[in-house]
Structure 1
Amino acid sequence: MDSKFSEEIMAARKDSDSIGGTVECIVSGLPIGFGGIWFESLDAELAHAVFSIPACKGVEFGKGFGLARMRGSESNDWYRMDGGRIVTESNNMGGIVGGMSDGADLVFRAAFKPTPTIGKKQDTVNLRTGENAELSAEGRHDPCIAPRAAAVVEAVSALVIADQMERGF
């Protein structure tokens, strides 16, 4: 975690608030063709697992949403031979094409929302009375989930890859 991000987290804590963050995960060494297709595709199963982490609100592979602003000629990863191996010139797809590894590093990011439990007063509804109310949390709460989520993203990714290996993908 860089110092600027740490400063933002500490500033949020000081303000009794929270911030969101993004976790990037890189998996190296997957062979070309590793992964399933359709509902068992590598990216679908990774996204499913990562979205299962509480507070995760987005997952993107490679250039992700940026791909929507590109043409195919810009987004396609070009392949070439290098020392007897197939390699990509870029990694816009994040190492996954058609649900399977293309041999490049698998790269994805997970976006985590700001911690909802904060010390600042927030408007809410008292469910017992049905009236508008204010709420503020007391005690210790993380001002950012992302630093702790990094280990969880790594763990669920390893589980998905191990599961696909077990199934022979």
Structure 2
Amino acid sequence: SSARITISRCVGGALAKLVLRKMGISITAYTSQIGDIALDRDYSKYDLSSVESNIVRCPDAEVATKMEHLISEVKAEGDTIGGIITCVVKGCPVGVGEPEFGKLHAVLGAAMLGINAAKGFEIGEGFNCVTSRGSQQNDIFTSDNGKIHTTSNHSGGIQGGISNGEDIYFRVAFKPVATILQEQPTVDKDGNNTTLRARGRHDPCVLPRAVPVVEAMTAMTILDYIMLNNNIVV
């Protein structure tokens, strides 16, 4: 299953992003980790407008340089490496999603895990929340001059399967590419043990290329659910 299939997703996602932009909704994904080189989990610490300023699509120039060097080292060894992409959705209106079948975070997870090489999905605090107490994790609602919002956003902008108006943020883990330029033991079509060495051009790390794919799948999912919630037919 070639990653080239994602070109159609990027086209559809680009169109969806144009529609969402008119609604005041922005979607930004970025490379937050490659191998053991990682950014802080808090996306608010970074200028997300700088994501496209380097080839690894990382909003921290210093960390981006380290990531580039690591990828170059891995490539020289004929190997591959994985990482994590973080995605942030700002401006999503309250009430998008379903409370039971079709929870918004569930369909976002399905969309992300449908991308080639994606192996993990977590929204909000994700796996980090398991060591906390409910009193620490609960996002408290408050009213500020009639505008209701939460004082924290551990849930990642979605509660009970429905958007609550806060930023939606999640992380997607991508495995190292399976095709490596080293000999590997395998089995041929007749069941005999043999070795395989790949040829041709293969990416040592898919993360930089996967960033726009994550944005595209997010855009199509969010727009789809806004249309469903508002009974919009195109």
Which category of TM-score, normalised to the shorter sequence, fits these structures? over 0.9
Deviations 1:68-98 (A, max 9, x none): 2211111111222335422222221111110
2:37 aligned residue = none
1:155 aligned residue = 216
Q: Structure 2: any 5+ residue segments left out of the alignment?
A: 1-57, 59-63
RMSD: 1.4
Q: Does 1:168 align with 2:221?
A: no
- Please show how residues 18-167 of structure 1 align to structure 2 within 5 Å: 18-128=80-190, 130-167=191-228
Q: Structure 1: any 5+ residue segments left out of the alignment?
A: none
2:149 partner SS: strand
TM-score by length of structure 2 reads: 0.68
The runs of 4+ residues in structure 1 deviating greater than 4 Å are none
2:74 aligned residue = 12
- Quote the Cα distance in structure 1 between the aligned partners of 2:206 and 2:85: 10
**Greater helix share, structure number:** 2
Number of residue pairs aligned between Structure 1 and Structure 2: 168
Higher relative contact order (CA 8 A, sep 6+): 1
- Quote the Cα distance in structure 2 between the aligned partners of 1:102 and 1:52: 25
Paired amino acid for 1:142: D
TM-score by length of structure 1 reads: 0.93
1:151 partner SS: helix
Deviations 1:104-154 (A, max 9, x none): 1000011111000010121111223x2211112111100111111111110
**Comparing 54-63 and 4-13, the one that deviates more:** 4-13
- Quote the Cα distance in structure 1 between the aligned partners of 2:75 and 2:144: 49
